[in-house]
Structure 1
Amino acid sequence: MLSGLTISNFAIVSELETQWHAGMTAITGETGAGKSIAIDALSLCLGERADAAAVRPGAKQADISARFDISRLPKAQQFLQEHMLEADEQECLLRRVVAKNGRSKSYINGISVTAAQLKELGQHLLSIHGQHAHQLLLKNDHQLQLLDGYAGHKSLLENTAQSFSQYQKLQLEQRELEAKHAQQQAQKQLLEYQVAELDEFALEDGEYEQIEVEHNRLSHAQHLLEGSQQQLYALYEGDEQTINGALQHSAIAISELAAIDPSLEGIAAMLNDACVQVEEASRELRGYCDSAELDPERLAQLDERLGTAITLARKHMVEPKALAAHHQQIKTDLEAICVDDERLAQLDAEITEALNEYQQCCEQLSASRKAAAQELSELIGASMHELSMENGRFAIALDFDLARTPSRLGLDRIEFLVSTNPGQPMQALSKVASGGELSRISLAIQVIIAQRVTTPTLIFDEVDVGISGPTAAAVGKLLRRLGQSTQVICVTHLPQVASSAMNQFFVAKQVANDETFTQMLSLNKQGRVDEIARLLAGDNISKTTLANAKELIAAHA
Structure 2
Amino acid sequence: MLTQLTVTNFAIVKFLELELSGGMTSITGETGAGKSIAIDALGLCLGDRADAHMVRPGAKKAEIIARFSLQHIPAARRWLQDNELENENDCILRRTVTHEGRSRGYINGIPVPLSQLKNLGQLLVHIHGQHAHQTLLRPDVQMQLLDGYAGHKALLRKVKDNYQGWQFLNKELRHLQQQQAENDARKQLLEYQVQELDEFALQPNEFSEIEQEHKKLANSGTLMEQCQAGLDILYENDEVNALSLLQMSANRVESQADNDPALSEITSILQEAIIQVEEASSQLRNYCESLEMDPEQFNYLDNRLSQAMQLARKHQVSPEELCKKHQELAKELDGISNSEERAAQLERELANVRANYLEEAKKLSQSRQRYAEELSQKISESMHQLSMPAGQFLIDVLADENAEITSMGIDTVNYSVTTNPGQPLQSIGKVASGGELSRISLALQVITSQKASTPTMIFDEVDVGISGATASVVGKLLRKLGETTQVFCVTHLPQVAGHGHQQMFVSKETDGTSTQTSMHALKPEQRLEELARLLGGDAITEKTLANAQELLIQ
How does the TM-score come out when normalised to structure 2? 0.90
Match for residue 48 of structure 1?
48
Q: Aligned in 2, Cα 1:77/1:348: closer, same or farther, shift over 3 Å?
A: closer
Whether 1:222 and 2:229 are equivalent positions in the alignment is: no
Report the Cα distance in structure 2 between the residues aligned to 1:221 and 1:124, rounded to whole angstroms.
Answer: 92
**Letter of the structure 1 residue corresponding to residue 65 of structure 2:** S
Give the Cα separation in 1 of the matches to 2:352 and 2:88: 50
Q: Secondary structure of the equivalent of 1:425? A: coil
Equivalent residue, structure 2, for 1:76: 76
Q: 1:170 to 1:92 in 2, by over 3 A?
A: closer
Q: Give the counterpart letter for 1:432 in structure 2.
A: V
Q: Secondary structure at the residue paired with 2:479? A: helix
> Structure 1 residues 269, 50: closer, same or farther in 2, change over 3 A?
farther
Cα distance in 2, alignment partners of residues 12 and 271 from structure 1: 118
Match of residue 486 from structure 2: 487
Structure 2 equivalent of residue 141 of structure 1: 140
Cα distance change of structure 1 residues 259 and 544 upon mapping to structure 2, 3 Å threshold = farther
Question: Which region of structure 1 is more displaced relative to structure 2, 278-287 or 259-268?
Answer: 259-268
| Aligned pairs (5 A) from 1:147-546 | 147-238=146-237, 277-512=276-511, 514-546=513-545
In structure 2, what is the Cα distance between the partners aligned to 1:252 and 1:34? 131
Please identify, of 42-51 and 465-474, the stretch whose mean Cα deviation from structure 2 is larger.
42-51
Distance 1:54 1:237 in 2: 114
d(CA) in 2 for partners of 1:275 and 1:15? 115
Q: Deviations over 1:254-280 (max 9, x none)?
A: 889999999999888767665655554
Q: 1-side partners of 2:53 and 2:96: how far apart?
A: 13
Structure 1 residues 17, 264: CA separation in 2 closer, same or farther (over 3 Å shift)? farther
The amino acid that maps onto 1:382 is E
Q: Which residue of 1 is the match for residue 27 of structure 2?
A: 27
Once residues 4 and 167 of structure 2 are traced to their aligned partners in structure 1, the CA distance between those partners, rounded to angstroms, is: 47
RMSD after superposition: 3.0
Q: Distance in 1 between matches of 2:299 and 2:539?
A: 123
Deviates more, 1:125-134 or 1:537-546: 537-546
> Which stretches in structure 2 are left out of the alignment for 5+ residues?
none
Deviation at 1:347, TM superposition (A): 4.4
Q: What is the rounded CA distance, in whole Å, between the counterparts of 2:298 and 2:141 in structure 1?
A: 86
Residue 252 of structure 1 and its aligned partner are, at CA, apart by 8.0
Q: Deviations over 1:63-113 (max 9, x none)?
A: 222122222333333334444443333x33222334445444433333444
Deviations 1:196-225 (A, max 9, x none): 322222222221221111111111112222
Alpha-carbon separation, structure 1, partners of 2:197 and 2:515: 87
Structure 2 CA distance, aligned partners of 1:240 and 1:535? 146
**Residue 56 of structure 2 corresponds to residue 37 of structure 1:** no
Unaligned runs of 5+ in 1: none
* 1:13 Cα offset (Å): 2.3
Q: How far has the Cα of 1:503 moved from its partner? A: 1.6
Q: Deviations over 1:424-480 (max 9, x none)?
A: 111111011111111111110000010011422111111112222222222122212
Q: 1:541 to 1:203 in 2, by over 3 A?
A: same
1:253/1:43 Cα in 2 relative to 1: closer, same or farther (>3 Å)?
Answer: farther
SS of equivalent residue, structure 1 residue 298: helix
Q: Following the alignment from structure 2 to structure 1, what is the Cα–Cα distance between the partners of residues 258 and 470?
A: 141
Report deviation, 1:175: 3.0
Q: What secondary structure sits across from 2:450 in the alignment?
A: helix
Output the TM-score relative to the length of structure 1.
0.90
* Aligned amino acid, residue 2 of structure 2: L
Once the two structures are overlaid, the 10-residue window that deviates more, 273-282 or 481-490, is 273-282
Q: Deviations over 1:313-334 (max 9, x none)?
A: 3333333222222223332233
1:208 and 1:41 map into 2 onto residues whose CA distance is 81
| Alpha-carbon distance between aligned partners in 1 of 2:483 and 2:449, rounded to the nearest angstrom | 13
Query: Which residue identity is paired with 2:43?
Result: S
Q: Percent same amino acid at aligned positions?
A: 53
Query: Cα deviations across residues 20-41 of structure 1 (Å, max 9, x unaligned)?
Result: 0111111122333322222122
1:123 aligned partner, one-letter code: Q
Change (3 A) 1:548 1:280: same
Residues of 1 paired with 2:101 and 2:219: CA distance? 85
Residue 3 of structure 1 and its aligned partner are, at CA, apart by 1.0
Deviation at 1:299, TM superposition (A): 0.7
Q: For residues 500-520 of structure 1, what are the alpha-carbon distances to aligned partners after superposition, in whole Å with 9 as ceiling and x for unaligned?
A: 212222222333473333222
Following superposition, the deviation at residue 350 of structure 1 comes to 3.7
1:339 Cα deviation from its structure 2 partner: 2.6
**1:549 has 2:552 as partner:** no
Match of 1:463, SS? coil
Give the CA deviation at 1:128: 1.2
